[in-house]
Amino acid sequence: MLSGPKGVSFILALLIALFSSVFLSLMAGASPELLAVSFALTFAWSFIAVYVALEFLIFREINRIYVFLEKVRAKDFKLPRKKVFKASNPLQRLNAEISAYATKKQQEIDELKKLENYRREFLANVSHELKTPIFAAQGFIHTLIDGAVDDKSVRDKFLEKAARSLDGLDVLVQDLLTLSQMEAGDIKMQYEKFDLPELALEVFEQLEEKAASKKVKFRFDRNYEKPIMAYADRSRIGQVLTNLIDNAIKYGTEGGKVTVEFETDKEHVTVAVRDDGPGIEPEHLKRIFERFYRIEKSRSKDKGGTGLGLAIVKHIIEAHRSKVSVTSKPGKGTQFRFRLDRAENH
Ligand SMILES: Nc1ncnc2c1ncn2[C@@H]1O[C@H](COP(=O)(O)OP(=O)(O)O)[C@@H](O)[C@H]1O
Ligand SMILES: [Mg+2]
């Protein structure tokens, strides 16, 4: 209470009255009655004068600012209210309000700067990734126009190379579209009940040729005779499995194995895709889910990767309110795992 206008006026008035009384008492002939009356009068007048000055000139104005700030804050964000309200001194309250507001704004600015950097980096990456196949196709076609078209064997080879570059471009643009639609929230997951081992078999079939070219064998960790029903977006989970198994073939060893396993508990089923390839060094492990992140840039590009596969996997799994994790032992292999809801509870 002493920090409010009344308290401050009281202390100031007391000091002024004391000071003037002490001063009076030094003069000859000052009777105790005179001293008492002078003390009382000085105290009363000083108190009123100081109080009016403080209340009307300063505290009221500060309170107005405070009320205004309060309105801004209510519109803008939620602050921990307790801390601010405890201080009865408006100056302290004001201070607390302003510093909380400034801190919050600074956080917002930092976040925006981070996003801006991210956006710039992403744009640079996209342009770079698009440039490569376009330049390649352009080169082949121009060489053909400049005369190579007359030689039949050269013509076929160049046309095929140009087509392959454009196919790569197509995959890249498709992946980019999927990512951006998922980020914009345009894609809703279409939940349904389906059998996971059956879906995995479909993906095995799709990637059969690719696996055969590297003599890679697909297998389940055991026989899944009974269905394992999940409640998720079937085609999106198919895409997740395709991306993971495709990576396991591409980055695994020639003649290696790709294993898929399912583990159930009461509510969930955990899916794991495992390979026995060279694995991933710990310093890369954290970053492989970032867009365009590749461990060996040139090698990965030769294998037709866009660097977006795992970013898409992460997005899809997160859209299912779950997480994808990876463990890897260099030299031994890599395992990706994610958890889905079991159909039984839906
Ligand atoms: N099973 C794996 N074994 C080793 N490295 C892998 C594996 N899966 C992914 N990676 C690494 O993670 C990177 C990112 O993968 P991904 O996003 O699918 O991109 P891409 O397949 O287009 O290269 C790959 O370039 C590769 O270096
Ligand atoms: Mg991939």
Which tokens go with 169? 């471009």
Q: Is residue 42 part of a domain?
A: yes
pLDDT at position 87 is 56
- 66 and 164 inside one domain: no
- 179 and 245 inside one domain: no
The region of weakest confidence among 43-57, 140-154, 194-208, 290-304 is 290-304
Q: Is residue 110 part of a domain?
A: no
Which tokens go with 20? 């003037």
Which tokens go with 253? 């060893």
Residue 78: pLDDT band with limits 50, 70, 90: low
Per-residue pLDDT tens for 103-122?
A: 999 999 999 999 999 899 99
Looking at 55, 82, 105, the residue that finishes a domain is 105
Residue nearest to atom 9 of ligand 1 (CA): 247
Residue nearest to atom 8 of ligand 1 (CA): 247
- 207 and 339 inside one domain: yes
Q: Is residue 278 part of a domain?
A: yes
- 240 and 159 inside one domain: no
Note the ligand closest to the C-alpha atom of 314: 1
* 218, 284, 294: residue to mutate for ligand 1 pocket, most atoms within 8 A of CB: 294
Query: In this model, does residue 344 exceed pLDDT 70?
Result: yes
Q: Is residue 27 part of a domain?
A: yes
| H/E stretch holding 33 | helix 32-52
- 124 and 101 inside one domain: no
The region of weakest confidence among 23-27, 63-67, 98-102, 302-306 is 302-306
Note the ligand closest to the C-alpha atom of 303: 1
Distance between Cα 173 and ligand 1 center (Å): 18
Looking at 105, 133, 162, the residue that finishes a domain is 105
Query: In this model, does residue 86 exceed pLDDT 60?
Result: no
Contact 339, 268 (CB under 8 A): yes
Residue nearest to atom 25 of ligand 1 (CA): 294
- More confident call, 202 vs 81: 202
pLDDT at position 114 is 94
Q: Is residue 173 part of a domain?
A: yes
Count of C-beta atoms within a 10 Å radius of residue 280? 20
Query: In this model, does residue 81 exceed pLDDT 70?
Result: no
Q: Is residue 111 part of a domain?
A: no
| H/E stretch holding 311 | helix 309-319
Please provide the average confidence, as pLDDT, over all residues in the chain: 89
Residue 67: pLDDT band with limits 50, 70, 90: confident
- More confident call, 45 vs 297: 45
- 72 and 121 inside one domain: no
Distance between Cα 311 and ligand 2 center (Å): 9
- Measured from the Cα of 303, ligand 1's closest atom is 23
Query: In this model, does residue 16 exceed pLDDT 70?
Result: yes
Q: Is residue 134 part of a domain?
A: yes
> Which domain does 69 fall in, by range?
5-105
Contacting residues for 241 by C-beta, under 8 A, at least 6 apart: 199, 200, 203, 260, 271, 273
- 320 and 178 inside one domain: no
249-278: average pLDDT: 96
Contacting residues for 196 by C-beta, under 8 A, at least 6 apart: 227, 228, 229, 230, 237, 262, 269, 271, 340
* 210, 251, 253, 283: residue to mutate for ligand 1 pocket, most atoms within 8 A of CB: 251
- 258 and 280 inside one domain: yes
- 176 and 305 inside one domain: no
pLDDT at position 76 is 62
Distance between Cα 66 and ligand 1 center (Å): 55
- More confident call, 100 vs 341: 341
Distance CA 204, CA 258 (A): 10
Q: Tell me the percentage of the chain whose pLDDT exceeds 90.
A: 66
- 211 and 160 inside one domain: no
Q: Is residue 302 part of a domain?
A: yes
- Look at the chain and report how many structural domains it folds into: 3
CATH number of the domain where residue 149 is located: 1.10.287.130
CA angle 279, 284, 290 (to 5 degrees): 115
Contact 273, 258 (CB under 8 A): yes
Per-residue pLDDT tens for 144-189?
A: 999 888 888 899 999 999 999 999 999 999 999 999 888 888 888 9
Query: In this model, does residue 101 exceed pLDDT 90?
Result: no
- 135 and 240 inside one domain: no
Distance between Cα 220 and ligand 1 center (Å): 21
Residue list, ligand 1 pocket, CB within 6 Å:
243, 247-248, 251, 275, 277, 280, 288, 293-295, 300, 305-311, 334
- 287 and 233 inside one domain: yes
- Measured from the Cα of 310, ligand 1's closest atom is 17
* 240, 244, 247: residue to mutate for ligand 1 pocket, most atoms within 8 A of CB: 247
Note the ligand closest to the C-alpha atom of 256: 1
Looking at 62, 77, 105, the residue that finishes a domain is 105
The region of weakest confidence among 77-91, 105-119, 269-283, 324-338 is 77-91
